Structure 1
């Protein structure tokens, strides 16, 4: 194993950011190479815990000569967000300097244009240099896994149609309960990598065998426990073994039994009014159209001071907000439905 640091100079004097990078050299040039990062949203830590335990296993495998493909691992990809505490709470999703999401505004380039990411590098902001450095590193590999989490959530992933159903092996290895089939039309990290894989220098490819770019949602932000992280690390190891990145004679492939759902089928349940949230249903539950999902106490103590929020479609509750007060329009739930929930959804991500 080789260890190094990505060093990003700050935008003010005396500031410097360091990102530890772990690399394993594979023994077989024909084996797939893989890039794995976690905590791009710095306050999403299940992936950091997972990679802590996966690295233990990879070091052992390296000593035993069981690493076939090159592996690059970054357990904590965003030191800028990690240092952003506002009134005692970490603000790891948005850059306080630019007010942009750390997982947005990645350049959409063809794979052949990879080196252009580093042009005019010193003139860019620290956050932009971090983004471009990570993207440049990821595009040097065949497989890219970006480990995130949701608020309160099932285990699921965003996977571009171009990588499905080949990527069902990852969904099975990590015991995902759902896969959201994305359209590849945003500037998120995973979709920027996917864009490059699909635009390798010529026309857009509809499928890219042997390549993968995926956002893995490792349940909710509070789901950071040793047994859970070790189990997820075992699942990721099984994926690597199945793809031939590592050697494991005991590996046995599993079939994916969950759903693969287009983003057009995701019902975003939002608060119609501000108020205190009383949830009646939990993640993992199946609901029918008309079922009561939550009560919003809009005017505490007043007659008729509460309103009901109901499901518009049949489906599976995939995520739920952890906050118990909602502003008007705040997301309360994502429901994975059996049919399209709206026909006017714009391409791109479900949330900012």
Structure 2
């Protein structure tokens, strides 16, 4: 393994950030190549734990001559967000200066030529230069996995519909419980920016059996421990073996994915009609019927007449929920995967800000 450090100058003198890039050189120029990154939102660490335990597996494979395709790993993809703290709270989702989600507004390139991306010392804000640097690292690869997590959640994937059904093998390898299929988010998340050049290619030239671009949601923020980190690392390793990036005769992947593949239009984003204390009736993984109770919001403690109980707008599976138990009016509370499009008009773009 070779380690490279990319230093990006800060926006004012005396400040800079560093991207640590881990590279494994493949032995076969015709093998698929892979890029994996984690912590684009700074404090989302389950993916970072997975990469921490994946690297030794790859080092062993490298020592035994079993790395066939080039592999690039960026375990801490967003040093800006990692360093954003206020009042003892980590705030890594939005860039504090512009309030822009770090996983939005990536450049959408018409092809894989990255020469037009700004350089690390361009006359642009640091966040924009960081996004360009990450794309420059990722786009030369056919497999691109952006490792995230939700709040309280099952393990699931976001996958563009054109990459299905070939990418269900990743869901099997990682033990994902669901796939959210999208066609256009309009927000230019990292996944969309990496999928975009592929989608501009003629359909008959894409070779989707070699390609994989996704956002992996490794459960919830607090699911960071030895057992899940090692299990997730093994899943990533199994997928790389299955796709021919690593050779390992001891790893097989033969089980079909049996979870739901849900279009974003079918995801019910249950939001708080009033602020208050949240009491959940369900947990991620529950199957509910239309009309079942999902959550009660206590708006006047001590006066049950002020309780607001929300019910399931359709039958489906509870995928995620908020960990905070005190919310504002309009806050997202949970995601329910339905069989039909939601009756609630969804704004263009990603499910959440």
TM-score (norm. length: structure 2): 0.96
After superposition, what is the alpha-carbon deviation per residue over 1:207-236, rounded to whole angstroms, capped at 9, x for unaligned? 844222100000000000101110011011
CA contact (8 A) 2:9 2:120 kept: no
The CA deviation string for residues 318-340 of structure 1, in whole angstroms up to 9 with x for no partner, is: 00000001100100000011111
Query: CA distance change for structure 1 residues 65 and 204 in 2, over 3 Å: closer, same or farther?
Result: closer
Within 5 Å, give how 1:55-74 maps onto structure 2: 55-74=55-74
The worse-fitting range, judged by mean Cα deviation, of 338-347 and 304-313 is 338-347
Tell me, yes or no, if structure 1 residue 6 matches structure 2 residue 11: no
The equivalent residue for 1:278 is 279
Alpha-carbon distance between aligned partners in 2 of 1:91 and 1:261, rounded to the nearest angstrom: 30
Matches within 5 A, 1:185-196: 185=185, 186-196=187-197
Aligned: 1:299 with 2:281: no
Q: Are the aligned partners of 1:163 and 1:207 in contact in 2 as well (CA < 8 Å)?
A: no
User: What secondary structure, in the 3-state scheme, does the structure 1 residue paired with 2:122 have?
Assistant: helix
Cα separation, partners in 2 of 1:343 and 1:301, compared to 1, 3 Å: closer
Distance 2:5 2:184 in 1: 30
Change (3 A) 1:165 1:141: same
Matches within 5 A, 1:231-242: 231-242=231-242
- Structure 1 residues 274 and 205, CA, compared in 2 at 3 Å: closer, same or farther? farther
User: In structure 2, what is the equivalent of residue 218 of structure 1?
Assistant: 218
Gaps of 5+ in 2: none
Q: CA deviation at 1:302?
A: 2.9
**TM-score of the superposition, structure 1-length normalised?**
0.96
What does 1:1-352 align with in structure 2 at a 5 Å threshold?
Answer: 1-118=1-118, 122-185=122-185, 186-200=187-201, 208-253=208-253, 254-302=255-303, 304-342=305-343, 344-352=345-353
What secondary structure is seen at the aligned counterpart in 1 of 2:49?
Answer: helix
Query: For 1:30-71, what per-residue CA distance to the aligned partner results, in whole angstroms no more than 9, with x for missing partners?
Result: 110000000000010000000000001101111110100000
Secondary structure of the 1:50 match is helix
Q: How many residues align?
A: 351
Cα pair distance change 1:140/1:112, threshold 3 Å? closer
CA distance in structure 2 between the aligned counterparts of 1:268 and 1:44, rounded to whole angstroms: 21
| Separation of aligned partners in 2, 1:267 and 1:18 | 39
Partner of 1:146, secondary structure, is: strand
Which stretch has the larger CA shift, 160-169 or 118-127? 118-127
Deviation at 1:112, TM superposition (A): 4.0
In structure 2, the CA distance between the partners of 1:203 and 1:97, relative to structure 1 (3 Å rule), is: farther
Shift of 1:206: 8.6
- Give, in angstroms, the shift of residue 109 of structure 1: 1.2
Give the CA RMSD over aligned residues: 1.7
- Residues 188-220 of structure 1 show CA distances to partners (whole Å, capped at 9, x for unaligned) of 0001110122124x7998984422210000000
User: Helix, strand or coil: the match of 2:117?
Assistant: helix
- Give distance in 2, aligned partners of 1:196 and 1:344: 29
Q: Which moved more, 1:334-343 or 1:131-140?
A: 334-343
Please give the secondary structure, in 2, of the residue aligned with 1:116: coil
Q: Secondary structure at the match of 2:227?
A: helix
Taking a change above 3 Å as real, the CA distance of residues 68 and 80 of structure 1, as seen in their structure-2 partners, is: same
Deviations 1:160-194 (A, max 9, x none): 01111100100000011100001133310001110
Supply the distance in 2 between the matched residues of 1:114 and 1:208 (Cα, whole angstroms): 21
Deviates more, 1:210-219 or 1:297-306: 297-306
Give distance in 1, aligned partners of 2:53 and 2:238.
Answer: 14
Whole-Å separation in 1 of the counterparts to 2:271 and 2:304: 23
The unaligned stretches of length 5 or more in structure 1 are none
Shift of 1:300: 1.4
